[in-house]
A and B are shown apart, each in its own frame.
Chain A
Amino acid sequence: MPINYYIFLSLALFCIGIVGVLTRRNAIIIFMCIELMLNAVNLLLVAFSKMHHNAALLAGDATTTAGTDGQLFVFFIMVVAAAEVSVGLAIIVMMYRNIHSVDVNFLNRLKH
């Protein structure tokens, strides 16, 4: 499949994520949208990694590992994202306990 499809897909996912973050007030949905953006980037990384690897294989070297480090990055990102999700959800839980809502607009005391 041409690389363009992957790029457009990931761009679409990223934009959906941004729009979600900007428009929604529910903290959980915003959180999900952030995950969406993160995964859009992951998808792009994998897609480019695959592209470069294929290019190296076509150049004639059957045992090359060129371009595969992008996929390794993705694994690390997923691990970090998992950790981040746990922290983020914990914050949301604490928030709900305090104000009995997950609406971010209630958290407007940053200006003080």
Chain B
Amino acid sequence: MQNVLQIVYLIPLLPLIGFLINGLGRKHLSKSMISAVGCGSILISFALSIWVFLQVKGGNVHNAHYFDFISVGKLKIPFEFKIDQLSSLFLLIITGVGFLIHLYSTSYMKEEKNEHFGRYFSYLNLFIFSMLLLVMGGNFVVMFIGWEGVGLCSYLLIGFWFKKHEYNKAASKAFIMNRIGDLAFLIAIFWLITKLSTVSFDEVFTAANLAKLSTLDITVITMLLFVGATGKSAQIPLYTWLPDAMAGPTPVSALIHAATMVTAGIYMIARSNILYSLAPFPMDIIAYIGLATALLAATIALKQNDIKKVLAYSTVSQLGFMFLALGCGAYTAAVFHVMTHAFFKALLFLGSGSVIHAMGGEQDIRNMGGLSKKLKITFITFLIGCIAIAGIPPFSGFFSKDAILLSAFIKNPVLYGVALFAALLTAFYMFRLLFITFSGKFRGTHEQEHHLHESPPAMTIPLIVLAILAIIGGFVGIPEVFMTGGDKLGQFYLQLLLNTEHTVSPATEYMLMGLSTGLVIAMIIFAWFKFRNYQRSEATGFGKVLENKWYVDELYDAAIVKPIKKAGTFFSQVFDKKVIDGMVNGVGRLLQYGSRQLRLVQSGQVGNYILLMVISMVLIFVIQFFLRK
């Protein structure tokens, strides 16, 4: 049926309607109604997305033009959607994972008050709406609307429990960090408008291919877009907001801060791949920044004790891998990793939510241990997630991570070495988390031990579905050396993404895979011996530096926040009071003084008046005769 593409606007519209119903009726609707509206709208969107995906699969690209969003002089920015293979895959991830997380939330959030429950679901729906707008947008401006929308929803949901002051601070931090990136994105859009007076993807990329943009322009635009992506996708130097974003409810962390929103930067760069393929310098920068982020975040994750913080740093690290792939020109690998990461990271976050739920809000893994007996489903699914993220074949993470490592190897074997090291750290910290949490003896209070229970089906079903996806999700991108025609994703994106050509002998490829798999398994065994009977101990030396996240937050605080605050104090206390007020008061005082002096002229003495008159007349004559030409 062809005409499903005619109604693509329903996909974002339904969550928007859900947002309005839940947002406006949060005090009047019952919780089951809110859940039905919230989940139902996403489910229908998901069904439509599958339909759209099937339509688009064969290369059937659809551009929908609705109305002129901005029309100033010659510049016309239409409100348009572009549905192609790239956006349709993201549609599936967003609505599919989004639906599972909505379902999970109905149970996870059920202890909230009715009105907050409604508020929560309205925010989630608004988020899905913004994210859909972001990936469906047919030009940079529509994308930017969604881009800002997800930033807003992220802010609202991190600060969802707004009565806690630190949560509000975390929300502000996320918002401000994002704004820095957004500004760069905005400048890139302005630059495009100045140079090409269009922002539509098709026109911009055609113009770039016809060399209508100078190399300098392309470099600046791609760099600015990348800065935008570092904000949204939590890369160095703007990554510190993401771990703090764990203040929000756990399903939010799963949805926004792992599966969807943070991949917006990857999507944006993959979408602009034609621009990037013309700009070698920004590509290198992206690869190095991505690799540095992957490594830095992985080292921090080694020593975190908050279950969600470990996952958060793991997310930052995985995003770094995706950027590494983008920087190596392996756009397909990056998108592939986005997809598999969405599955296993959502799974891990939801699993951690299940653990936190069972522990009655406890997040410190030092107080857990031995949970595998009580939380069987959670344990098994969490284990699957860990194996997937560590990259053991045939789980999904193996295929996507292998594709990334391979692309890094082709670009530069040094990059490959560092990336492999980061991947080993990934395996180590994930299994450290798993063993500390689920094996050994329970280290919490008796009350907590008594309270331990498996989560209800609304929470375990999404876990199971995501676990299955985490296992099989990689099969869409089986490397060609294993199976001819196995790389379905690669063929899918053959025309859309300008991947750098890979040429490496099958023997090398096998060797790389064997190396990474062997080392990962060794790491896991090492972690098993080290952490299976975890005893609480204080970190010392280098471990303490890692536990304190390399003191990056403190560095930013000392280097940026404090000077700005000091400057603010200076300006408000000194500059404003002395200089600005001084100027204003000075003008007033000058006028008062001047008029007081001028008043003396009016003495009432006739002689003075006449004298003034004579002087003035003489002056007028002088001006008249000598000065006027």
- Closest B residue to A107 by beta carbon equals B606
Q: At the interface with chain A, which of B69-77, B568-576, B597-605?
A: B597-605
Asked if residues B607 and A104 are in contact (CB atoms below 8 Å), the reply is yes
A18 to B611, CA, bound (A): 9
Q: Is the CB of B606 within 8 A of A18?
A: no
Q: How large is the interface on A (under 10, 10 to 19, 20 to 34, 35 or more residues)?
A: 10 to 19
C-beta contact mask, B591-629 vs A, less than 8 Å → 1, else 0?
000000000001111110111001000000000000000
> Chain A contacts of B611 at CB under 8 A?
22
Interface range for B:
10 to 19
Which residues of A from 53 to 112 have beta carbons under 8 Å from B?
Answer: 104-105, 107-112
Residue of A nearest to B614 (CB): A18
Contact A25 B607 (CB under 8 A): yes
Cβ of A61 to closest chain B Cβ, rounded Å: 34
Whole-angstrom distance between the alpha carbons of A110 and B605 in the complex? 8
Complex CA gap A25/B606 in Å reads 9
Complex Cα distance A18/B615, Å?
A: 11
Answer yes or no: A21 CB below 8 A from chain B CBs. yes
A111 and B602 contact, CB distance less than 8 A: yes
Contact A110 B607 (CB under 8 A): no
A66 shortest CB reach to chain B, Å: 28
Residues B610 and A108 in contact, CB atoms below 8 Å apart: no
Q: Are B603 and A108 in contact (CB under 8 A)?
A: yes
**Inter-subunit contact A22/B607 (CB<8 Å):** yes
- Minimal beta-carbon separation of A107 from chain B (angstroms): 6
Partner of B605, one of A21, A23, A105, A112: A105
Q: A18-B614, A22-B614 are in contact. Are A111 and B604 (CB under 8 A)?
A: yes
Q: Tell me the dominant secondary structure on chain A's binding face.
A: helix
B610 A110 Cβ-Cβ under 8 A: no
Cα distance, A73 to B566, chains bound together (Å): 81
Shortest distance from the beta carbon of B625 to any chain A beta carbon, whole Å: 15
Chain A residues with CB under 8 A of B609: 110
Q: What residues on B are CB-neighbors of A18 within 8 Å?
A: 614
Q: Closest chain A residue to B602 by CB distance? A: A111
A22 touches B610 (CB 8 A): yes
Minimum CB–CB distance from B446 to chain A (whole Å) comes to 96
Cα A105 to Cα B607 in complex, Å, equals 8
Q: Which residues of A contact B604 (CB under 8 A)?
A: 107-112
Give the residues in chain B near A21, CB-CB below 8 Å: 610
When distances are taken between beta carbons in the complex, the residues of chain A under 8 Å from B605 are 105, 108
> In this complex, what residue of A is CB-closest to B607?
A22
Whether B606 pairs with A104 at a CB distance below 8 angstroms is yes
Q: Which residues of B contact A107 (CB under 8 A)?
A: 604, 606
**A22 contacts which chain B residues (CB < 8 A)?**
607, 610-611, 614
Q: Which residue of A lies closest to B609 (CB)?
A: A110
7 A–B contacts, CB within 8 A, in A order: A21-B610, A22-B607, A22-B611, A105-B605, A107-B604, A107-B606, A108-B606
Pick the 8 closest A-B CB pairs, nearest first.
A111-B604, A108-B604, A110-B604, A104-B606, A111-B602, A22-B611, A108-B605, A21-B610
Contacts beyond the supplied A18-B614, A22-B614, A110-B606: 5 A-B pairs with Cβ under 8 Å? A23-B607, A107-B604, A107-B606, A111-B602, A112-B604
